[in-house]
A = this chain, B = another copy of it.
């Protein structure tokens, strides 16, 4: 049995008295018992839904290259069918430890608090905001697209005093603008999207970690569109907290939200006066689930929630795939295929949403739908004729007006890039896609 003394949560929602067994009584049974209710009986049920009756899902094949969820690495996808033992056995513990090692590798960090939440990418954004901020804390959010705008909303819902650093479509913040905002507002947290996939912009991070350090601000970065795709060195770049998803360059499917917290971020979280709003994504609770901290005395490992071995297998194999290829080779492969689609788009005379070449988010091509063409017809044609999913942009103001291609993980290869751009050329030249 493990000692509770190892617990490092400084606040208590329940009093210590509540935590021990007295609140629920001991194993001695109650002497008097309540009268039982009448048992519910089985009554006439509703009719069976015809859509499910004697009909199984078939799946549907296609290449996912629209910049959202991507075609997963076969190794990661296939891993979901591996037999799953209980979450408390050595096997399941090992899988978790291996995932943490793999995440540290792709992030180039030594952060101990590197693990994955269950949920989608936005679970990660919410969790990071919720762990870092308390009611009324100042959070500066770079707003240069749909997802960054949502990140600001997420922080506001959680009670933060949000400062939106807005930029017009197709542009990003300069280091000078960021330094000015830090100096003026002294926010507790600066939250930036490294890549804003809805506008196709890359927000460079060089110098920002140092600026945040100068002003005592925590730098939190959304790496959803860039991790395992372009070089990221979390420690060297002085990034305090990052969040990701599993369906882009990590090469899996939607289901987990990896995160990493620096020792500085963890120290700040330990000194909170109030607990994070969401119990399940409380980093100090999750640290027990991921065997980073000692479980409480009554926990075998953790009893925060059941973990999904199927999803852990998926993530573990996505990471192992990257490890076996070598992160430098993965970066180089993404760089090569990204350059190819960008060059082809220029050759085809397509206009980029981001005018400055160096500001374009690698791997995410976002071009304006050519005059005389209907963006939805173009993507519809791509799916119907070529079984390739592209998108027409995402969120205001790009949706329906653009063509977006995302090349991540399995699809970040020259041959795939060529197939996609050939198909796009066909789609754009077809009269079926005319406005």
Contacts and interface: CB of A to CB of B under 8 A. Distances in A.
A184 interface: no
Interface string A48-75: 1101111111111110101011000001
A77 interface: yes
Contacts of A368: 27
A376 B46 CA distance: 44
A158 interface: yes
A205 interface: yes
Contacts of A121: 305-306
Contacts of A261: none
Contact of A169 (B26, B98, B104): B26
Contact of A51 (B34, B84, B101): B101
Given A78-B81, A85-B62, A120-B306, A397 B171 contact: no
Interface in A323-350: 323-324, 326-328, 331-332
A40 B230 contact: yes
Nearest to A351: B29
Interface stretch (A185-193, A211-219, A247-255, A411-419): A247-255
A226 to B, nearest CB: 10
B59 A206 contact: no
A230 B39 CA distance: 10
Contacts of A316: 52, 57
A57 B45 contact: no
A192 B37 CA distance: 16
B119 A310 contact: no
Interface string A5-46: 000000001100011110111111110011111111111011
A222 interface: no
A389 interface: yes
A79 interface: yes
A98 B399 contact: no
A170 interface: yes
A157 B276 contact: yes
A317 interface: yes
A279 B101 CA distance: 30
Nearest to A146: B303
A82 B58 contact: yes
Nearest to A203: B37
A276 B42 CA distance: 36
A280 interface: yes
A267 interface: no
B123 A43 contact: no
Nearest to A51: B98
A270 interface: no
A304 interface: yes
Contacts of A118: 119-120, 123, 254-255
A323 to B, nearest CB: 4
B311 A98 contact: no
Closest 5 CB pairs of A and B: A59-B82, A21-B397, A25-B168, A254-B308, A37-B204
B231 A42 contact: yes
A54 B323 CA distance: 8
A64 B37 contact: no
A98 to B, nearest CB: 5
12 contacts: A24-B149, A24-B199, A29-B169, A30-B171, A40-B233, A48-B323, A52-B101, A59-B84, A80-B80, A154-B280, A254-B306, A298-B396
B255 A18 contact: no
A24 B174 contact: no
A85 B60 contact: yes
Nearest to A49: B101
Interface string A227-239: 0001111001100
Nearest to A323: B52
B277 A158 contact: yes
